[in-house]
Amino acid sequence: MNNLRTYLATLFILMAFTLSSCELVGDIFEAGMWTALIIIVLIILLVVWIFRKFRR
Tell which wins on pLDDT, 5 or 51.
Answer: 51
- In this prediction the pTM is 0.54
In angstroms, rounded to a whole number, what is the distance separating the alpha carbons of residues 28 and 36? Answer: 12
Domain that holds residue 42: 2-55
pLDDT surpassing 90 at residue 3: no
* Residue 33 Cα distances to 4, 24, 40, 54, angstroms: 32, 14, 11, 32
* Residue 47 Cα distances to 6, 12, 34, angstroms: 48, 43, 20
Confidence (pLDDT) at 2: 67
Confidence (pLDDT) at 49: 95
Q: Give the chain's domain count.
A: 1
Question: Mind listing the pLDDT tens digit for each residue in 7-53?
Answer: 888 888 887 777 666 777 788 888 899 999 999 999 999 999 999 99
